[in-house]
Amino acid sequence: MPLAMTPDDTSKQAATPTTSAQRLCFSPRTKRFWVILGLLVLAIGLGVGLGVGLTRGSSDNGDDDTPSPPKSPTNNTGPAAGTYWKPAAGTTWQIVLQQALGTTAPNVSVYDIDLFDNNATIINTLHGMNRKVICYFSAGSYEDFRPDSDQFKKSDYGKELKGWPGEFWLDIRSENVRSIMKARLKVAASMGCDGVDPDNVDGFANDSGFPLNTTNTLDFLTFLAEEAHGLGMAIGLKNAGDLVGATVDFLQWEVNEQCVQYEECKSFRPFVDAGKPVFNIEYVDGKGVSTKQKVCGDNSRSGFSTLLKNMDLSDWVEAC
Ligand SMILES: *[C@@H]1O[C@H](CO)[C@@H](O)[C@H](O)[C@H]1NC(C)=O
Ligand SMILES: *[C@@H]1O[C@H](CO)[C@@H](O)[C@H](O)[C@H]1NC(C)=O
Ligand SMILES: *[C@@H]1O[C@H](CO)[C@@H](O)[C@H](O)[C@H]1NC(C)=O
Ligand SMILES: *[C@@H]1O[C@H](CO)[C@@H](O)[C@H](O)[C@H]1NC(C)=O
Ligand SMILES: CC(=O)N[C@H]1CO[C@H](CO)[C@@H](O)[C@@H]1O
């Protein structure tokens, strides 16, 4: 059917202007053919258009309209917006939270260090060695020894964290808590941190003293991500396996403790599947001790950035 061929020929003509289609234009016979065909198409088009108009009234989403490619919605806001560092799955790392970083010896791409125990000097040193720096702080617990501890209200903190005397779950719904966290993010940015590691965002899975759940925790993480990204910093999830699916699109990594030991690595795999690191820590001291052989040989962690550490998160480290 010639009618069906017309759009095909037109597109070929546009794609390959110097081929037979162009020669056709100079032949009077074929020119007349095309003119007649064109008029025919126009007439049929008008007829169909009128008919559709009469039967469908003012409906303007007719299938006979030239289809235009679907417009992708403009998306300049949201927790993923901004310009910030995006590390790849498998990135090597070190984490030291016990004290100020003592040694830069491990030759790895990323150092996760405490926001308050370190200063811009060490971050500059690490940057000079072509390494990125993640700054750790607790976003979901109150610690009485932090320089900004006196800014929390008594109503902001609830029950003590099991096994961590002097540390209490925070009400992450509190505006006061959020403004303190916002200030911490500004400190991190001013120190030159490339990203932040906000800890204790799994109060919803613990006896925190507040009615925390995944909904208000996701809201808190969205808030933190918007603030961090707005300051040009990356940000990750800490543990909280229940929130992996909801956050993997806008957080840059997962920091996980003991998924090999507790056989939970599958929960965190979506980050690696999305090309983002799972920074995995397995403790080789303490209860239920893991051995290097057992941890590193475990397939459930394949693609993860696994470290063997002591519970105190000192300089000591071994990588798989
Ligand atoms: C818009 O941003 C949100 C949150 O970052 C993201 O989940 C979503 O996929 C984005 N949509 C588009 C069309 O880019
Ligand atoms: C550190 O590792 C990088 C990348 O693997 C390598 O290019 C560099 O030579 C290493 N530096 C030292 C001092 O070993
Ligand atoms: C930064 O920290 C290092 C190591 O703790 C310390 O030696 C140095 O004096 C500090 N620098 C400043 C400017 O506080
Ligand atoms: C979490 O709690 C809020 C009320 O504080 C409620 O609106 C929301 O539906 C709850 N979400 C879940 C997953 O239970
Ligand atoms: C501090 C604390 O007890 N955290 C727990 C919160 O809940 C998760 C999930 O059950 C545990 O893995 C943590 O140890």
Ligand nearest to the CA of 204: 5
114 and 36 in a common domain: no
33 and 136 in a common domain: no
228 and 279 in a common domain: yes
185 and 260 in a common domain: yes
- Residue 152 covered by a domain: yes
Work out how many domains the chain is built from and give that number.
2
Mean pLDDT of the chain: 84
CA separation for the pair 145, 132 (Å, rounded):
27
**pLDDT tens digit sequence for 43-76:** 444 344 433 333 333 334 434 455 555 566 565 6
Residues 114 and 135 sit within 8 Å (Cβ to Cβ): yes
Residues 233 and 194 sit within 8 Å (Cβ to Cβ): yes
Name which residue sits closest to atom 7 of ligand 1, judged by CA: 249
148 and 31 in a common domain: no
**pLDDT tens digit sequence for 95-145:** 999 999 999 999 999 999 999 999 999 999 999 999 999 999 999 999 999
159 and 51 in a common domain: no
Q: Is the model's pLDDT at 156 over the cut of 90?
A: yes
Ligand 4 mean position, distance from CA 217 (Å): 10
Indicate the pTM of the whole model.
0.78
Domain span at residue 152? 93-319
- Residue 88 covered by a domain: no
- Residue 68 covered by a domain: no
R_g of the chain, CA atoms, integer Å: 30
174 and 108 in a common domain: yes
Ligand 3 mean position, distance from CA 178 (Å): 28
CA separation for the pair 98, 87 (Å, rounded):
24
CATH number at residue 111: 3.20.20.70
113 and 193 in a common domain: yes
161 lines ligand 5 (CB under 6 A): yes
CA separation for the pair 135, 194 (Å, rounded):
8
